[in-house]
Amino acid sequence: MEPVFIGGAFREAQDPVGSFRAVNPATGESIGPDYPISGAADLDACLEAALLAAPALRDTDPAQIAAFLHSYAAGIDAEAASLAPLASAETGLAAEGRYLANELPRTTRQLRLAAEAALSHSWTLPVIDTQAGLRSCLAPLARPVFVLGPNNFPFAFNAISGGDFAAALAARNPVIAKGHPSHPQTTQALARLAAAALVSSGLPAAAVQLIHDLPRQLGLRLAGDRRLGAVAFTGSRPAGLALKAAADAAGVPAYVELSSCNPVALLPGALEERGDAIAAELLASCTLGAGQFCTSPGLVLLVDGPATRRFVEAAARHYAAAAPGLLLNQGVLSSLEESLRALTAAGARALVQGQRLAGAGFRHGPTLLSSSGASFLAAAPALQREAFGPATLLIIAKDADELCLVTAALEGNLTGTLYSTSDDEQLYRRVAPLLRDRVGRLIEDRMPTGVAVSPAMNHGGPSPATGHPGFTSVGLPASIRRFAALHSYDHVKDAHLPLVLRNQNPGRIWRSIDGRHTQEDLP
233-272 residues near its own copies, rule: CB under 8 A: 244-245, 248-253
Whether the CA torsion 436, 438, 442, 447 is positive or negative: it is negative
Burial class (CB within 10 angstroms; exposed 0-12, middle 13-18, buried 19+) of 19: middle
34 touches 21 (CB < 8 A): yes
Q: Would you count residue 515 as binding its own copies (CB under 8 A)?
A: yes
* Binding residue (CB under 8 A) for its own copies from 59, 96, 338, 399: 59
Count of other CB atoms within 10 angstroms of residue 480: 25
Give whichever of 358 and 495 is closer to its own copies, judged by the CB atom. 495
HSE-CB of 9 using CA atoms within 13 angstroms: 8
Q: Residues 83-122 vs its own copies: string with x where CB under 8 A? A: ---------------------------------------x
304 touches 342 (CB < 8 A): no
Give whichever of 355 and 519 is closer to its own copies, judged by the CB atom. 519
Closest contact distance (angstroms) between CB of 478 and its own copies is: 7
Residue 294 catalytic? yes
* Binding residue (CB under 8 A) for its own copies from 496, 504, 506, 523: 496
Residue in 257, 281, 386, 411 annotated catalytic: 257
Taking the C-alpha atoms of residue 42 and residue 131, their distance in angstroms, rounded to an integer, is 51
* Angle subtended by helix axes 62-78 and 163-170, to nearest 10: 150
* Interface positions, 140-179, toward its own copies (CB under 8 A): 141-143
Give whichever of 398 and 430 is closer to its own copies, judged by the CB atom. 430
Q: Would you count residue 508 as binding its own copies (CB under 8 A)?
A: no
Give whichever of 12 and 514 is closer to its own copies, judged by the CB atom. 514
Give whichever of 162 and 462 is closer to its own copies, judged by the CB atom. 462
In sequence order, which residues have a C-beta less than 8 Å from that of residue 403 and are 6 or more positions away?
A: 265, 301, 302, 303, 373, 397, 427, 431
509: left (phi over 0), alpha (psi -120 to 50) or beta: beta
Taken as a whole, the chain contains a residue count of: 523
Give whichever of 88 and 417 is closer to its own copies, judged by the CB atom. 417
Q: Would you count residue 510 as binding its own copies (CB under 8 A)?
A: yes
Q: Would you count residue 305 as binding its own copies (CB under 8 A)?
A: no
* Binding residue (CB under 8 A) for its own copies from 34, 129, 276, 337: 129
Q: Residues 423-442 vs its own copies: string with x where CB under 8 A? A: -----x---xx--xx--xxx
Give whichever of 175 and 443 is closer to its own copies, judged by the CB atom. 443
Closest contact distance (angstroms) between CB of 251 and its own copies is: 3
Count of other CB atoms within 10 angstroms of residue 425: 11
Q: Which residues of 272-293 are buried (b: 16+ CB within 10 A; e: fewer)?
A: bebbeebbebbbebbbbbbbbb
Closest contact distance (angstroms) between CB of 4 and its own copies is: 28
β-pair type (4-6, 9-11): antiparallel
Give whichever of 504 and 516 is closer to its own copies, judged by the CB atom. 516
* Interface positions, 450-489, toward its own copies (CB under 8 A): 452, 454-458, 460, 462-464, 467-472, 475, 478, 481-482, 484-489
Taking the C-alpha atoms of residue 397 and residue 381, their distance in angstroms, rounded to an integer, is 17
Q: Would you count residue 446 as binding its own copies (CB under 8 A)?
A: yes
Number of residues that bind its own copies (CB under 8 A): 77
Stretch that binds its own copies, among 11-19, 66-74, 338-346, 514-522 (CB under 8 A): 514-522
HSE-CB of 191 using CA atoms within 13 angstroms: 30
Residue in 137, 261, 294, 404 annotated catalytic: 294
Closest contact distance (angstroms) between CB of 390 and its own copies is: 22
> Hey, is 181 helix, strand or coil?
coil
> Hey, is 233 helix, strand or coil?
strand
Give whichever of 76 and 478 is closer to its own copies, judged by the CB atom. 478
Give the closest residue to 461 by CA, choosing from 442, 475, 447, 484.
Answer: 442
Give whichever of 293 and 362 is closer to its own copies, judged by the CB atom. 293
* Interface positions, 205-234, toward its own copies (CB under 8 A): 226
DSSP secondary structure of 288-313: GGGG-STT---EEEEE-SHHHHHHHH
* Binding residue (CB under 8 A) for its own copies from 86, 118, 138, 397: 138
Q: How many angstroms separate the first and last alpha carbons of the chain?
A: 61
Closest contact distance (angstroms) between CB of 48 and its own copies is: 15
Cα 415 to the center of its chain, rounded Å: 13
* Interface positions, 373-392, toward its own copies (CB under 8 A): none
Q: What is the dihedral of CA 170, 175, 181, 184, to 10 degrees?
A: 70
Closest contact distance (angstroms) between CB of 269 and its own copies is: 14
Closest contact distance (angstroms) between CB of 233 and its own copies is: 14
Closest contact distance (angstroms) between CB of 432 and its own copies is: 7
Taking the C-alpha atoms of residue 381 and residue 440, their distance in angstroms, rounded to an integer, is 19
* Binding residue (CB under 8 A) for its own copies from 358, 359, 504, 517: 517
Count of other CB atoms within 10 angstroms of residue 492: 14
The helix/strand count (H/E) of the chain reads as 14, 23
Stretch that binds its own copies, among 39-47, 78-86, 201-209, 448-456 (CB under 8 A): 448-456
Closest contact distance (angstroms) between CB of 318 and its own copies is: 23
Q: Would you count residue 56 as binding its own copies (CB under 8 A)?
A: no
Q: Would you count residue 320 as binding its own copies (CB under 8 A)?
A: no
Q: Annotated catalytic sites, by residue? A: 257, 294
